[in-house]
Amino acid sequence: MNLLKGWGFGTLLLLASFLGTSLLGGLEFVKVDFSQRIFIYLLSLIPF
């Protein structure tokens, strides 16, 4: 249950950040920040 909750939260976070960047800045910002997003997403997969 904890893992599922973390996964759902990570997915929402990822979607929100992608939506935010597509609205705000386009592809340059996404390219710069993409690896950081993946890192945060992977961290959110780990159940605490």
Quote the pLDDT of residue 13. 78
Q: For tokens 């890192």, what's the residue?
A: 39
> With 0-12 CB in 10 A as exposed, 13-18 as middle and 19+ as buried, what is 2?
exposed
For residues 44 and 10, the answer to whether their CB atoms sit within 8 Å is yes
Q: Please tell me the predicted confidence (pLDDT) of residue 32.
A: 56
Q: Higher confidence at residue 41 or residue 1?
A: 41
pLDDT at 31 (0 to 100): 59
Complete DSSP assignment for 1-48: -HHHHHHHHHHHHHHHHHHHHHHHT-HHHHHHHHHHHHHHHHHHHS--
Residue-wise pLDDT for 6-47, tens only, equals 677 778 877 887 777 666 665 555 555 677 777 777 777 776
